[in-house]
Amino acid sequence: MDWKREAKNELRDLPVIREAVRSIPERLQMIEAKKTSLGSSSTDRTPVQGGGTPYEERLLNLIVEGERLTVNMEVNRIRLQLIERGLSALSAQDRLIVETFAEHRPSEAVDLLADKLYIERSRIYQLWDQALRRYTIAEFGLTDF
């Protein structure tokens, strides 16, 4: 497994993982509201071919969707904690470098960091490699045996 590539992918996904952790509870509330409104809006008792009534089918679909979202929320919450823990093990400069490379294309990240840290572009790439290695070790453990 290419641990550095995995680390880069996790860091790139960090903003959307944060957003998922915030938005999934709202989706779960929406599903609960649909379940409540579903009972009053449908009185059709005709079974669907091979199954229950349309009401039962819609309710079952909402329950399954809610369960899947609950599992997704827990997985994303754990992923977020692991990423944040890996980032917290870095120095302030390493964290800045890692986060900048995660949020921008490499050439843009180098330009931003060169201006911010007053370091040559070639040195930025070396620092990026070192910071990513430290993050990878903090996140996944020692990956080179």
Residue 45 lies in a domain: yes
DSSP state letter for 119: -
- Check whether 76 has a pLDDT greater than 80: yes
- Check whether 43 has a pLDDT greater than 80: no
Residue 19 lies in a domain: yes
Residue 145 lies in a domain: no
Going by pLDDT thresholds of 50, 70 and 90, the confidence category of residue 140 is confident
Tens digit of each residue's pLDDT (9 = 90 or more) over 103-115: 999 999 999 999 9
Query: Residue range 31-38: average pLDDT?
Result: 83
Residue 105 lies in a domain: yes
- Check whether 48 has a pLDDT greater than 60: no
- Rounded CA-CA distance 5/123 in Å is 21
User: Greater confidence, 44 or 127?
Assistant: 127
- Rounded CA-CA distance 21/25 in Å is 7
Q: What is the domain range of residue 134? A: 3-140
Half-sphere exposure of 88 (CA within 13 A, CB side): 6
Residue 69 lies in a domain: yes
Per-residue CA distances from 1 to 4, 15, 49, 144 (Å): 9, 24, 47, 11
Total domains in the chain come to: 1
DSSP character string of 48-83: PTTS--HHHHHHHHHHHHHHHHHHHHHHHHHHHHHH
- Average pLDDT of the chain is 87
